[in-house]
Amino acid sequence: MVRQFLVGTAVVVVLVLVALTTFGWFTARRPLPELSGEVQLEGLGSDVRVSRDAQGVPQIYADSAEDLFRAQGYVHAQDRFFEMDYRRHVTAGRLAELVGNNEDAIQADMVIRTFGWRHVAEEEFNVLDDSTRQYLQAYADGVNAYLAGRSPSETAVEYTVLDVSVEVNEPEPWDPIDSLAWLKAMAWDLRGNYDDELDRALAYSTLGDASRVAELFPAFSGTGNTPILDPADVGTGQATQQSQATQTASATGDVYGSPELAQAMEAAQRALDSVPVQIARGEGTGSNSWAVSGKYTESGKPLLANDPHLDLAAPGIWAQVGLHCNQVGPECPFDVSGFSFSGFPGVVIGHNADLAWGLTNMGADVTDFFIERVRNDTYLRGADEWVPMEKETEVIRVDGGSPIDLEVRRTVHGPIISSVMDEADMDAVRRSPTETGTELGQYEISLQWTALQPGRTADAVFAMNTAKTPADMKAAAALFEVPAQNIVFATTDGHIGYQAPGKIPVRASVPGAVESDGSWPRPGWDARYDWTGFVPQEQMPGVVDPAEGYIVAANQAVLPGGEGPFLTRDWDYGYRSERIRTLLGDQIAEGRKLTAADMTTIQTDQWSVFADTLVPVLLEVDLPDGYESDGQDLLADWDRSMDADSAPAAYFAAVWRNLLQITFNDELPESMWPDGGSRWLAVIQGMLDNPNDEFWDDKSTVAVVESRDQVLTEALTSARQDLTVELGKDTSDWEWGTLHQLRLEHLVLGGSGVPAPIAFYMNPAPTKVGGGSSIVNATAWDASSDSFEVTSGPSMRMVVDLADLDASTWVVVTGTSAHPASAHYDDQLAAWAAGETFPWPFSRDAVAAAQENELILTP
């Protein structure tokens, strides 16, 4: 995972001294912003008031929308400018200009320049509403007003550190395009099933059997879990595309058996892995959200809960904020509070005076990889037409290094990504026809992605901020093109609803050839596999006030297979959503009305469906009494809750990890070794009833054919031994939280290549947590590694009480500030880890009562 970059060896001596002197203390505190008093801000039409509470959350009050967003830009720059600057360097493919001559940074720049995120953002600015462009410009003006007259060291301590090893220049003025380019990074991390698409092809390269590949990607319907919507509520017809049940025996064909194609796929995977994580990646990328009708709540009005599961770093991804027009009306329509992205105006998730909304990743298939036949910078279309590629040269500038000329090549589908980074990758896929023995050229991989076309997601953000009714939210969703998200909402007048937005490709069904539903890479030379359009917005699933009285959207299938437009076959398998539905349904069945506190309790539930499925089977395994069965004995009376202080939880996690590694690592390429997420539970569930399934056999032991029970025995005994080494021989000393810790790292200065005193200063202290993968409290970890450390989790938690908005609660994983010297850098971490939240004032009176500081921005 690319996130930290080596600062340079010269920094070691200098920064140890800096960290240990009074000068170092002054340097760290120098960028802290003014939170009280009066400050002039160029461009304002009238005074703006910024009120902050005990957590430092800004509530901004202005007379005009332009002043509101100008002030938001100023406040974001006060609190988080380095984070903003880092992000814009990433999204522009200019990271090496910021962090220096670092291989990871250069490779990231090469791939992102190949994608062309910033070029798309420049086109996107021209298709947005005039008002959105005005808001983006006002926001940029506010950022620049803060930067004016300040040196880099006065805006963030990170510049002081970087200045030891690279040349730190004055930050460039913020531009509206910087904000729009950030939306591309967000969309990339939440793009859907591209990992599964590549994994199917890579798995076939080692398994050589389409049916065995299919076993690794079971259908959502096989879990028995419930989709988000009931077709009876939605009134959908049949699928407009190939359903997830459609498969063809020739899906793999001779193409997928080619070693040259496997090389190209692996090169493409390496390129994609080089893109720095901005929001999330891999197992655990998801979210929980639900809305409950007032007929089931104590207040008689709806409740709404949301907790997006994303990458966790320091600072956290969300900047809490309130944006309030002093007089709400057509000229200044905003009275909204919630979670924003620093670098972008408005609120992404939250509520206004009339409506609350939450987002979860829908996981729709919006990316396709195309297998291209390439010969001398031409690519094959049809039987024998060789079409010239589009080519352009991008210049990557490196602080402390020479510029790099990068040739970007594109086909009709999109950029070529399999030969971006280094000569080894190029050699693998760009050999001459005489070398490969074919006149059809070499294999390369191109990427088609909806976000590489200009869209109107920025318009959607402001439309959601001002939505009052379900119809307003539906209209806003129609603009929210990428990333495709589930929108759950509730209104103060008693409605709950769901709407699926997104720009979803339509793919033609091509019988007798490779899978044409986007689940496998597609042959680029055959035009039958090209996208034929996009699902009309009026066909996207949605519902208002469903008969069941609650809606749960936690990344599971939107509708049963075969209903509505085809969105993807690669959903989260629904174990989190099913647990939430069970907890809500049980309390409703008991006749107990739900409260906001109940929503928070559900958000922190740690019951494991993995354990509930596997423990009965594990207890049947016959182990010798004593040492080897000590761990197994812990499982007998366990309540299946992955609590931080639980010994059986620690043992079970080790068994699950070892079970997956023993079962699959011998046959799959390393890039798709099981991460332990919901798909792998669905796979194991399908195998438990077949003790002789071929995957149970360890192919590395040629003389022996292992069965299920042998693998389970080895997983149990090896887990006992592993935890003896890691936690001690006495099982009563074991705790899940000792293994499962959240170690937040700074975006740039927190990794292993950074001198220890600086990393210690920039990184919050490690925190023991409970939870785990596919648990409602979804603190995911990677079973393909030897570590149980948290890889992603609830980036925030919010509960909105539509009966009394001031009774709503929220928390983020770190704090509002990105300055490590600030009291608000990580002051919410302990509450977050304990499952606690803070009051969320909204009304003018509640904000005034909570006020700790007040800053007046004057023209």
pLDDT one-digit tens code per residue, 628-654 = 999 999 999 999 999 999 999 999 999
The pair of structure tokens assigned to 362 is 């829908």
pLDDT of 752 = 82
pLDDT of 512 = 57
Residues 514 and 532: their CA atoms lie apart, in Å, by 17
- Residue 249: pLDDT band by 50, 70, 90 thresholds? very low
> Hey, is 564 helix, strand or coil?
coil
pLDDT of 179 = 98
Closest CA to 485 of 614, 661, 602, 362: 362
Closest CA to 523 of 201, 40, 174: 201
- Residue 242: pLDDT band by 50, 70, 90 thresholds? very low
Residues 825 and 32: their CA atoms lie apart, in Å, by 11
Q: Is 34 exposed, middle or buried (0-12, 13-18, 19+ CB in 10 A)?
A: exposed
At 657, give phi and psi (nearest 5°).
-60, -50
At 413, give phi and psi (nearest 5°).
-90, -35
| Half-sphere CA count of 547, side-chain side, radius 13 A | 6
Q: Where are the beta strands (DSSP E) in 235-282?
A: none
> Hey, is 725 helix, strand or coil?
helix
Residues 46 and 69: their CA atoms lie apart, in Å, by 13
Average pLDDT of span 161-185: 94
Phi-psi region of 436 (alpha: psi -120 to 50; beta: other; left: phi over 0): alpha
Closest CA to 541 of 484, 501, 495: 501
Other CB atoms within a 10 A radius of the CB of residue 518 amount to 29
pLDDT tens track for 570-597? 999 999 999 999 999 999 999 999 999 9
pLDDT of 282 = 65
pLDDT of 821 = 95
CB 674 within 8 A of CB 660: yes
Closest CA to 485 of 366, 400, 386, 384: 366
CB 357 within 8 A of CB 350: yes
pLDDT of 497 = 98
pLDDT of 90 = 97
pLDDT of 1 = 38
Sequence-distant (≥ 6) Cβ neighbours of residue 790 within 8 angstroms: 312, 740, 741, 742, 743, 769, 779, 780, 781
The residues that bridge with 793 in the sheet, in sequence order, are: 310
CB 277 within 8 A of CB 2: yes
Instruction: Give the whole-number percent of the chain exceeding pLDDT 90.
Output: 83
Cα dihedral angle (452, 458, 464, 467), rounded to 10 degrees? Answer: -120
Exposure b/e, 543-556, CB count within 10 A at least 16 = b? bbbbebbbbbbbbb
**Mean pLDDT, the chain, whole residue set:** 91
Tokens 């409290």: give the residue: 777
Closest CA to 292 of 542, 498, 576: 498
pLDDT tens track for 745-768? 999 999 888 888 889 999 999 999
Tokens 């009305």: give the residue: 593
Residues 107 and 531: their CA atoms lie apart, in Å, by 30
pLDDT of 254 = 65
The residues that bridge with 395 in the sheet, in sequence order, are: 405
CB 643 within 8 A of CB 770: yes
pLDDT tens track for 780-798? 999 999 999 999 999 999 9
> Hey, is 217 helix, strand or coil?
coil
Average pLDDT of span 679-705: 93
Q: Of 236-245, 526-535, 805-814, which range is least confident?
A: 236-245
pLDDT of 447 = 96
pTM here is: 0.94
> Hey, is 370 helix, strand or coil?
strand
Average pLDDT of span 385-397: 96
Residues 245 and 249: their CA atoms lie apart, in Å, by 13
Q: Of 515-529, 734-748, 802-816, which range is least confident?
A: 515-529
Q: Is the pLDDT of residue 12 over 50?
A: no
